[in-house]
Amino acid sequence: MEKDAWDVAKQKQKSYHNPPPGNRPCPWLMICHGREFQRQTFYDISEDRRHTKMIPDLRNKFILATSSREWLFVEDRDSDDCSLWNPASLEKIRLPPLEDLACSSCFLSSSPSDPQSFVLVVDVRKNVIGYCKPGEDTFRRHNVEPSISRATIFKEEIFLMLENCELAIADVENSELRVRALGNKDINWSNPGCIPATRDYLISSDEDLLVVSEMIYTLPMGQIYGFIVFRMNFTEGIWEELKSIGDRTIFLSTCGGISCSLKDSRVKKNAIYFVQHDDRHIHMYDLEDQSISKASPCSNIDYHSSDLQWIML
């Protein structure tokens, strides 16, 4: 009897230190919080459920989704140490120190077990892409001009969004990084006049490459006015506005965005869910009626010292 109770306690402790189940069609909202970001709360918006964990490998770490849902990019908050971490197997692959690079996006050219695999980190502040093979001691660097605003993986290619929404493709050939501009035109849209700023997201969505423009009011400072969605017409080299994204749903955080087609789900289709730093709400923008609503799924968390982002596991 005592042995059974001990086994149950051990299993419960193990579960507390492991991520929630993977292979879900909907992303988790991951909230890192607590002292030294020791807790990770995973919220499932499709089922209105949350799992709070204390995963040792994620304590005091900056966490970023990669182009592969099997791997997360993990960076220590107090040093430039970083690694790839597999939530399913708990495997960790150490990467070279970032030094002065700030990773805003991370891409894998193939599985890390592939001898020809490269890890690419994009620093949008310095307009630099660092790249290396797992096991190498340093990141090689490639300067990109004009400046990088966003990056994503689309149809197994790494797309960069540069100034004026110009697209470029980055790839590694013969161990050298090359960036090829596509020469597309800028987005053409009419600013309502009260919108002094926009924040653009580059998102892979089924067969479409999208730009989601977040429109921001001057006052109240930082309040979201709404969103406009554009798709790239590769034949014409132009961005086309979409009034509807159909049965798709887009999830946005400061780190980027995820698009999903969700069937038989309580998640609203043709909508954009977004979160903001220091805000306890999940906001939902309805593309059909252009309204914004909000919910508070984890009201017991101190959001003033937390990180929020959507990730696929």
| pLDDT value of residue 9 | 42
| pLDDT value of residue 294 | 86
Contact (CB, 8 A) for 168 and 176: no
pLDDT interval class at 193 (50, 70, 90): low
Over the stretch 88-126, which tens digit does the pLDDT of each residue have? 999 999 999 999 999 999 999 999 999 999 999 999 999
| pLDDT value of residue 83 | 97
The number of folded domains in the chain is: 1
**pTM for this predicted structure:** 0.90
What average pLDDT does this structure show over 179-194?
81
Q: Of all residues in the chain, what percent carry a pLDDT higher than 70?
A: 88
Backbone phi, then psi, for 32, in 5-degree steps? Answer: -95, 125
CB count in 10 Å sphere of residue 134: 19
Domain extent, residue 251, equals: 2-311
Rounded-to-integer distance, Cα 201 and Cα 72, Å: 20
CATH of the domain at 13: 2.120.10
What average pLDDT does this structure show over 48-61?
92
Residue 229 has pLDDT above 70, yes or no: yes
Contact (CB, 8 A) for 158 and 120: yes
DSSP state for residue 163 in the 8-state scheme: G
Of 157, 150, 69, 167, nearest to 104 by C-alpha is 150
Contact (CB, 8 A) for 117 and 133: yes
Over the stretch 122-140, which tens digit does the pLDDT of each residue have? 999 999 999 999 999 999 9
Residue 8 has pLDDT above 60, yes or no: no
